Structure 1
């Protein structure tokens, strides 16, 4: 399953889709402009390229090994925007050829995409997105943002994609909308994991499918009534291959919007929800020991009964405020009860100018790894530049964009297979002025795992993983022929599966680009990657790169 052909086929699924996803709070300003035939100009920018580079990596801790490899890559960066479609993609395939034992031989596919296509203007839109990324996996299951120039086996390839239609229309005073998304996520098993002493191997997430649907019909305030009213419902189902885990969540609710001022409204809703999480146990040997397959994951006892890990049904409610003083500022914050306990969530978006953007979101959901990653992908804007580690070529934790939440850091976290209650907050800031652009994202992610009694997942029930992450980027055009970029990320990871304390993973890089002639350019870069672990040796590696890229003549339109 780790062949280049398999990876390429999976990447074609990930990136061969049109895409964008809806926000729970309704269409973005960009989507409104698109549907209403706003002032957006037609933009087509397609830039395919080939690249050859030489990389040297030296391990600084705990050893002193030095490896070199040659990288041969082909890729494409593209942006499309017009009245009825919008999307961005950055995808790359690289073959690495090592010069000595322990080098990073093999192939890697990395990329990120999101976009939308209006099949029926102002009514029906097809939305989708995808991600292929390589990430470092620790022995407790947590992952670190960014690529690592390591020679151990603790890296994994992640693929995720989603697609589905969105409908928005009117019937007299009624506003009608519906959304459906289908998602697929796969994680390749790391070759090896560095485990702390007396630590059991983790059950690494394999793959999952996600179905998510929402529908709503209502009237706006001051049309039929002084207040706005709506009724709707939703369905979320996730099927995880590990131990046949399943999340089933169905709800129906009614909402009211009470205007207080032209820019401020009180909002609230009440409804009914039925949530069930279940799984099967692993196959056990004669001594009752769970059997682990050749892929390092538990073998599912498909003939055994389905065990309930979590079940709740009954009243749900929330109340809050909605503040939209202008098209550049919006705030929605709610507090209520869901999943049998208190819940808090909301969003804030502020764009003081066309070159500055601030976005914050607080979230609370029940998810598996695939569902959480799909949610982060769907919050990305449709117009962005993919940010890559110049040494490894891997996708980083954020994209360069001036609208929407532009980071996916909170979607990675741990790659354990268990379902979890996922709560946290994420924010991003982007700024562009003159020839310089920069931005950063930060967040906190809390995952409380849910496991069925009497199964191998029972030991995970109630255990909490915490992840604080920070990612930053900056780019400046030095002159007409050269530019400079910098990227960095830090993860503070604290797993409840051991008492060792907080691990810190980090990655930083600096790259210089120079146009030589025509489409030919040269790159020189340096990078530093590492992980600090309380019960294990710290790891640190420094890398340097020189390379050449030929960009075929891009297609542009305006």
Structure 2
């Protein structure tokens, strides 16, 4: 059943808050936890925004009215972090349209019984639709090539012991929905690409293992997984399963050699688009390709066989962990690894190197699951959305970054390879975060022999983001953001595109009432051209907290 956009948005964007509320209320015993820490801050805001194109003469202004909540509940059995904002923009000029925007992120985990927990996450944000199209430096004003995204996942996790063995199992259900972008700004004459619609995914995992020295000098683990995803565009389907065994051999203080071997099967398929008399794909009112019901199922990727990897694990202390592996998978060399270092009670560094076959929906689900359950929202005065990094506030969970997912909303599956690094510092009144990374996607699609196919094409993204916030006196808060992104697509006719931006804001509290003043500057353009677009923005706003 298809719902109007407004009805869908209202229902879906409430999922982040509903998820956190459900986890909070699931365990009445948590209310009696002596270590309970709960901060729930609903608010309403009114602001006036001025935006001017420094490369031209356009100056636009609008009023924004928003409502939201920032919440954190941290106990021994329940961890919840939510930041959600609904904003409506009232324009004064014909050149600027009224709009509604949902932005938010939530993570929650609740221990139902010892060893058995339920967790979930949700996000509402906006991101680029077509990697060949415009690069919005800021997501305010009449931005093109932007789609609203809603995504969430939830499921149970089991972690227990049976004699000397550690037993783990888990299940995650994921759902992702993307609204059509409208104008993308892709170069004229380029072949059209399909727009993402929605997808559902299922992931089940299980493992059993014994640590080194418990039974044998070598630690052994057997694990397996099954995953299935069904996407709305062209009846796309992914199904994968694998089983593997791993061994860990300690060779020194905190140092071990690791190795694993496994067998996997992956199949990706879809149907053809319906074509008109001229052979062009038929699209619906949102620009999405219509599936041909008479088409046979086309195989885009079909692989089965043995894979392996080997490497080292180094854990010299409880604050430091390093793992690096190299092996053969997906028909070529594969490199993966991770680094975690806790500098202090609430400051840490995390680095991850990944290589896997993904889709936009599955990679977003996994990215949500990697975010910490204890974070404070980044103070972005212009409410650009959660398409960057989220920084943790406790322990070794430095946070997580999503630009590798949000570089563009791809409809095809792809092999995702890259590196993400996050650095978070929380020391008294000072908060700082740095995120940077690189992502490569090699697309997987049927080679139909006629028409345009993205099969075998790839794109690259480089990104960096810096955030800092400082308490000023008893009632003031100064914050700033810097970011830069570079996109290089292998699609025909594409050129390297980059976007950068910086903003700063000062907020002052007068009890429940607060005031904010902010300035920002953003630039976008092609790497090969000197004539790029630069825009400046200013904001004055009032917030009332309940």
TM > 0.5: yes
Distance in 1 of aligned mates of 2:133 and 2:226: 29
Distance 1:143 1:337, change over 3 A: farther
Deviation readout 1:73-109 (Å, 9 max, x if unpaired): 1100001111111121000111111111122412111
Match of 2:284 among 283, 293, 298: 293
1:40, distance to aligned residue in structure 2 (A): 9.6
Aligned to 1:34: none
Distance in 1 of aligned mates of 2:422 and 2:442: 24
Distance in 2 of aligned mates of 1:167 and 1:4: 38
Contact 1:19 1:116 in 2 (8 A): no
Runs of 4+ in 1 over 6 A off after TM superposition: none
- TM-score (structure 2 length as normaliser): 0.92
Deviation readout 1:277-297 (Å, 9 max, x if unpaired): 111110011232211221111
Distance 1:148 1:449, change over 3 A: same
Match of 1:227 among 215, 218, 221: 218
Runs of 5+ unmatched residues, structure 2? 23-32
Deviation readout 1:329-384 (Å, 9 max, x if unpaired): 11111111222221111110001211421110001111111111112111111110
Aligned to 1:370: 361
Aligned to 1:114: 107
Distance 1:301 1:420, change over 3 A: same
Aligned to 1:340: 331
Distance in 2 of aligned mates of 1:233 and 1:58: 55
Aligned to 1:28: none
Deviation readout 1:252-307 (Å, 9 max, x if unpaired): 11111111124111111111111111111100112322112211111111331101
Match of 1:126 among 105, 118, 123: 118
Distance in 2 of aligned mates of 1:315 and 1:81: 43
> Considering only aligned residues, what root-mean-square deviation do their CA atoms show, in Å?
2.2
Higher-RCO chain (CA-CA 8 Å, sequence separation at least 6): 1
Aligned to 1:383: 374
Aligned to 2:440: 446
Contact 2:132 2:494 in 1 (8 A): no
What secondary structure sits across from 1:286 in the alignment? coil
Contact 2:496 2:528 in 1 (8 A): no
Aligned to 1:10: 12
Contact 1:253 1:271 in 2 (8 A): yes
Superposed counterparts of 1:59-98, under 5 Å: 59-61=53-55, 63-98=56-91
Distance 1:16 1:397, change over 3 A: same
Distance 1:140 1:396, change over 3 A: closer
Match of 1:324 among 310, 315, 331: 315
Residues 1:273 and 2:264 are matched in the alignment = yes
1:198, distance to aligned residue in structure 2 (A): 2.1
Distance in 2 of aligned mates of 1:71 and 1:4: 18
Residues 1:421 and 2:421 are matched in the alignment = no
- TM-score (structure 1 length as normaliser): 0.91
Match of 1:51 among 22, 45, 48: 45
Pairs aligned (count): 530
Match of 2:298 among 304, 307, 329: 307
Distance in 1 of aligned mates of 2:449 and 2:501: 38
1:201, distance to aligned residue in structure 2 (A): 2.6
Distance in 2 of aligned mates of 1:533 and 1:15: 39
Aligned to 2:142: 151
Distance 1:11 1:158, change over 3 A: same
Distance 1:47 1:502, change over 3 A: same
Distance 1:322 1:439, change over 3 A: same
Larger displacement relative to structure 2 (52-61 or 388-397): 388-397
Contact 2:48 2:63 in 1 (8 A): yes
Superposed counterparts of 1:9-48, under 5 Å: 9-18=11-20, 41-48=35-42
1:56, distance to aligned residue in structure 2 (A): 1.0
Contact 2:81 2:375 in 1 (8 A): yes
Distance in 2 of aligned mates of 1:367 and 1:10: 24
1:441, distance to aligned residue in structure 2 (A): 0.3
Match of 1:170 among 161, 164, 177: 161
Contact 2:130 2:409 in 1 (8 A): no
Contact 1:515 1:522 in 2 (8 A): yes
Runs of 5+ unmatched residues, structure 1? 21-38, 553-558
